[in-house]
Amino acid sequence: MSTYRVAVFTGEKTIEFKELELKKPLGTQALVKIDSCALCTLEQRVYNGVMRYYPFAGGHEFAGTVCEIGDKVVHLKPGDHVTARILTNCGSCYYCRNGHENQCVISFQASLHEGINGPGGLSEYILIDESLLYKMANDINLSYAALTEPLACCVHSISQGNIELGDDVAVIGVGIMGAFHIKLAKLRGARVIAIELDPERLEIAKEMGADVLVDAGKCNSVEKVIELTEGRGANVVFCTVANPQSAAEAIAMAGKLGRVVLYSSFHPKLPIELDVNHVHYSEMIITGSVNPKIKDFYVASKLLSTGIVNPARLISEEVPFENIDYALQRAIDPETYRVIVKI
């Protein structure tokens, strides 16, 4: 009997390798040999004990190669490079039927390894339905392909912002998600203003296409954006920083008819003051963005496969599977972007 290894979070800062039986794909299933898995904030929070989902098979940003397929698989063949959209959706609830499957009532309930909760990308193999897999270019670097999911989240956010040609777009924060927002906003034809405290991250913003760099440690970023837009304020503001104060600043720097997208989840979850008359008179739109739709994921897979988006500068380190503890410690370091575990 063949077996494979899965990395399982069993407690705070505790990971164990579990051996499971390697089964053959049936019907519409495909067996994927995982090459690369990126460590998102979800895995970091479970590892740190902030989210206590134990035991938990982490890893929802991954890519690999199809090894075998079931007899009803239509669009894939052995040797194909693939990534996966693990976010679950039932297809029949109110939100799924209304075209908002990213808001499905059963989201985040993945369990792809028998008897273990979690998406399970930190594994040597995964058995998964064809409908969840997205074919990537045959020559793509699979570390890049592993970043399809975070890019897809940003594709959805950009859609929420409804950017028009020539818009002034402010992006608060230049972590990996802020960097992707900058690149995508440029592809939409915007002038992009990047706002960040870290000078090194501002350099990344420049490489991703930002037109104006604002060092938030040296000036009032709200006043600066209003100055740069001749007193109007930004057409669109994306807040990719987890601090609620940044959300307040995002609203303050948006102009009339502006769209404010609160992309990040906020920790701590604190309220902010809101001048409701300002919202009323300016007709601004304040919205959020969470989870990519199926279309968003497909768009992201195309952007990476064709090289339109190159995420090379956003990969801080590649770490062997055996050193997963070290990989998570590196991922927690705020200096890093994405750390990739090479299975």
Contact 271, 198 (CB under 8 A): no
267, 277, 258, 199 alpha-carbon torsion, rounded to 10°: -40
Q: Which domain holds residue 205?
A: 154-288
On whether both 52 and 95 belong to a single domain, the answer is yes
On whether both 198 and 269 belong to a single domain, the answer is yes
Cα–Cα distance between 178 and 162 in angstroms, integer?
Answer: 17
On whether both 86 and 8 belong to a single domain, the answer is yes
As beta bridge partners, residue 65 has: 33, 81
Contact 42, 51 (CB under 8 A): yes
CA pseudo-torsion sign 220, 221, 224, 226 = negative
Q: What does the pLDDT read at residue 1?
A: 64
Number of independent structural domains in the chain: 2
> How many other CB atoms are found less than 10 A from the CB of residue 5?
17
318, 321, 322, 328 alpha-carbon torsion, rounded to 10°: 60
On whether both 77 and 193 belong to a single domain, the answer is no
Residue 74 counted as domain residue: yes
E strand spans, 181-232: 191-196, 212-215
Tell me the pLDDT tens digit for each residue of 151-169: 999 999 999 999 999 999 9
Q: What does the pLDDT read at residue 268?
A: 80
Residue ranges of the chain whose pLDDT lies below 50: none
- Residue 228: what residue type? L
On whether both 160 and 123 belong to a single domain, the answer is no
Residue 60 counted as domain residue: yes
Q: What does the pLDDT read at residue 88?
A: 81
Residue 161 counted as domain residue: yes
Cα–Cα distance between 335 and 342 in angstroms, integer?
Answer: 20
